[in-house]
């Protein structure tokens, strides 16, 4: 195999740790956001990658066209992404769910695939004039040097903002009434209907929170380089990886697993050449799923139940969707 790309020194280790933590925070945002959606609503919302990219493009464009300052563009980009995700849920997913009941999961995934493809191509088309990419302006980047680590103020800001967002969402879920409702729907949809929770509202809120997290990450990622229409494809695949490995755990646990993935990626550079970093992550996913296969087959003959997603969306609870909307 290839010789190590980087010679191992403490300085390099610290540098790679720093890189891994920052990128890991970005992955945490997507993983927690995507994971929230799939565990509470059961929907495999692969179009998450499209709203992810969209927020970066909107943030960049508002900075460009309207001269919005960085933070305002960020908020605006996040809001637009949240609205689009909300539309996907209410115009596409929910009606399908209502119509198909328990058989909806695969169909919703297919619809999401369609939305994802259409979405990223639409973004590329709309910004075709500017070469299909947009830069985030408004953040003057400067290098920061501490210990033996070279980083930027942008990276540090993205780290801090990311964790503020993650902690905020975790707090909402843990301590607020909405959070209780979300957890209730995730744990026992039937019962949540029985106590009068409106699943439609909860689903929309979950889509909003989940999309917003990813959107924040997208803007910072784009700020570090540029926004491209396919920038969502790797993050969503990482999000899927983390979601399935972390299972239905609490948001902060999922976030930590995602940071772990970021570190795995950045530290793999000591063993593999850089082009292998991504493969290492996907290989981890593959090994995990294979381990699941082996353990399920060694145990009693049972059907393999997915750990993460709610097994039937609330709308599928015996025709509930037609009523409790």
Partner 1 sequence: MAASDETAVTPAATATGADGPASALVEGTLLQVTGLQAGYGSKQVVFDVSLNVGAGEIVGIVGHNGAGKTTTLNTIFGILRPRGGQVVYRGENIAGRTCHKNVLAGMTLVPSEQFVFTDLSVAENLQLGALWTPPSKRPELLESVYQIFPVIKDNLKMRAGQFSGGQQRMLSIGMALMADPKFMLFDEPSLGLAPAVTIRVFDTLRQLVNERGISVLILEQNMPQLLRVVDRVYVMRSGRIAGEETVDQLRAREHYWDIF
Partner 2 sequence: MQLTVSYLDQILVLLVFTVSVNLVMGYAGVFNAAAGAFGAIGGYSLVWLTTNHGWAFIPAMVTGVAVTAVFGLLVGYAALRLQALWLLLLTLAVQLVLIGTLGGLTSLGGSTGLQTNNLNILGYQLVEPTQVLPVVAIGSVLVFLLCYRIGESPYGRVLRGIRDDETATRSLGKNTFSYKLIVFTLTAAMAGFGGALLSADTTTASPSLFGFDVSIQVIAMVIIGGTANMWGSIVGVTLVVLATPFFENVINLSTNTASLAQGLAYGLALVIVVFFRPQGIIPEGAVPWRWRRAATVPATLVTGDGTDPLAPAHERAAAPAPLVTTDRAPRPAAAGGGDNVLEVRGLTKSFGGNTAVNDLSFDLRRGKITALIGPNGAGKTTVFNLITGAIPADAGTVTLFGRDISGLRPDVITGLGMTRSFQDVRVFPSLTVLENIMLGIQDHPGDDMRNLFARPGQVRRAERAARDRAREWLRFIDMEPLARVRAGSLGFGQQKLVALARILATDSEVLLLDEPGSGIDHAWIDQMIAVVKQVSEGGRTVCIVEHNLEVVGRLADHVCFMELGRLTAEGGFAELTSDPRLTEAYFGSV
**Would you say 81 and 215 are in contact if contact means Cβ atoms under 8 Å apart?**
yes
Give 300-306's long-range contacts (Cβ < 8 A, gap of 24+).
306/244
Calpha distance 146→149 (Å, rounded): 5
Q: Which of 117, 58, 226, 71 is nearest to 109 (CA)?
A: 117
DSSP H helices, the chain, are: 10-41, 48-66, 70-87, 94-100, 104-126, 153-175, 177-187, 189-194, 199-224, 233-246, 251-267, 277-298
324 binds partner 1 (CB under 8 A): yes
DSSP state of 270: G
Calpha distance 121→205 (Å, rounded): 27
Beta strand 149-152 pairing with 227-228: unpaired
Q: Which is nearer to partner 2, 177 or 302 (CB)?
A: 302
DSSP string covering 236-265:
HHHHHHHHHHHTT--HHHHHHHHHHHHHHH
**Residue 296: which of partner 1, partner 2, none does it interact with, CB under 5 to 8 A by kind?**
partner 2
314 binds partner 1 (CB under 8 A): no
Backbone angles phi, psi at 180, to 5 degrees: -65, -40
**Residue 145: which of partner 1, partner 2, none does it interact with, CB under 5 to 8 A by kind?**
none
Q: State the minimum distance, in angstroms, from the CB of residue 206 to partner 2.
A: 19
- Only one of the segments 7-15, 119-127, 144-152, 207-215 lies at the binding site for partner 2 (rule: CB under 8 A); that segment is 119-127
- Only one of the segments 122-130, 186-194, 218-226, 248-256 lies at the binding site for partner 2 (rule: CB under 8 A); that segment is 122-130
Using CB under 8 A, which of 3, 7, 145, 196 touches partner 1?
196
159 binds partner 2 (CB under 8 A): no
Q: Which is nearer to partner 2, 252 or 254 (CB)?
A: 254
DSSP string covering 170-189:
HHHHHHSHHHHHHHHHHH-H
99 binds partner 1 (CB under 8 A): no
Binding mask 228-267 vs partner 2 (x if CB under 8 A, - otherwise)?
-----x---x--x---x-----------------------
Please identify which residue in the block is written with the tokens 């119509």: 99
Q: Which is nearer to partner 1, 161 or 192 (CB)?
A: 192
For residue 151, the cross-strand partners are 144
Calpha distance 104→97 (Å, rounded): 5
Helix (H, G, I), strand (E, B) or coil at 151: strand
197 binds partner 1 (CB under 8 A): yes
- Only one of the segments 15-23, 42-50, 129-137, 175-183 lies at the binding site for partner 1 (rule: CB under 8 A); that segment is 175-183
Q: Per the structure block, which two tokens stand in for 280?
A: 């290492």
296 binds partner 2 (CB under 8 A): yes
Calpha distance 105→44 (Å, rounded): 8
- Only one of the segments 8-16, 46-54, 154-162, 186-194 lies at the binding site for partner 1 (rule: CB under 8 A); that segment is 186-194
Binding mask 50-89 vs partner 1 (x if CB under 8 A, - otherwise)?
----------------------------------------
Q: Which is nearer to partner 2, 195 or 300 (CB)?
A: 300
Q: Which is nearer to partner 2, 136 or 240 (CB)?
A: 240
Using CB under 8 A, which of 191, 279, 286, 287 touches partner 1?
191
181 binds partner 1 (CB under 8 A): yes
**Would you say 213 and 165 are in contact if contact means Cβ atoms under 8 Å apart?**
yes
Q: Which residues bind partner 1 (CB under 8 A)?
A: 101, 177, 180-181, 183-184, 187-188, 190-198, 317-320, 322-325
Q: Which residues bind partner 2 (CB under 8 A)?
A: 44, 92, 95-96, 105-107, 109-111, 113-122, 124-125, 128, 233, 237, 240, 244, 273, 275-276, 278-279, 282-283, 285-286, 289-290, 292-293, 296-297, 300-301, 303-306, 309
């Amino acid at each position: 195999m290839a010789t190590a790309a980087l010679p191992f020194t403490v300085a390099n280790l610290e540098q790679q740790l720093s890189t891994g933590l920052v990128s890991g925070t970005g992955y945490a945002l997507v993983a927690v956001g995507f994971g929230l959606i799939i565990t509470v609503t059961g929907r495999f919302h692969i179009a998450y990658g499209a709203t992810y990219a969209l927020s970066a493009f909107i943030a960049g464009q508002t900075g460009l066209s309207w001269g919005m300052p960085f933070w305002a563009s960020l908020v605006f980009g996040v809001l637009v992404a949240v609205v689009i995700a909300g539309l996907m849920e209410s115009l596409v997913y929910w009606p399908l769910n209502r119509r198909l009941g328990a058989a909806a999961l695969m169909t919703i995934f297919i619809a999401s695939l369609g939305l994802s493809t259409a979405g990223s191509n639409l973004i590329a088309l709309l910004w075709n004039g500017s070469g299909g990419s947009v830069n985030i302006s408004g953040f003057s980047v400067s290098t920061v040097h501490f210990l033996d680590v070279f980083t930027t103020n942008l990276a540090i800001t993205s780290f801090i903002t990311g964790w503020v967002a993650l902690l905020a969402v975790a707090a909402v879920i843990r301590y607020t009434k909405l959070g209780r409702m979300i957890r209730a729907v995730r744990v026992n949809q039937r019962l949540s209907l029985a106590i009068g929770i409106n699943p439609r509202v909860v689903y929309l809120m979950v889509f909003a929170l989940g999309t917003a997290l990813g959107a924040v990450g997208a803007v910072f990622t784009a700020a570090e380089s540029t926004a491209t229409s396919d920038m969502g494809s790797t993050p969503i695949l990482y999000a899927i990886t983390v979601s399935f490995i972390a299972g239905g755990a609490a948001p902060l646990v999922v976030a930590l697993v995602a940071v772990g993935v970021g570190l795995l990626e950045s530290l793999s550079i000591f063993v593999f050449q850089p082009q292998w970093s991504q493969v290492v992550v996907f290989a981890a996913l593959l090994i995990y799923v294979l381990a699941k296969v082996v353990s399920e087959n060694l145990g009693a003959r049972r059907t393999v139940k997915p750990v993460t997603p709610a097994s039937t969306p609330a709308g599928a609870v015996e025709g509930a969707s037609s009523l409790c909307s």
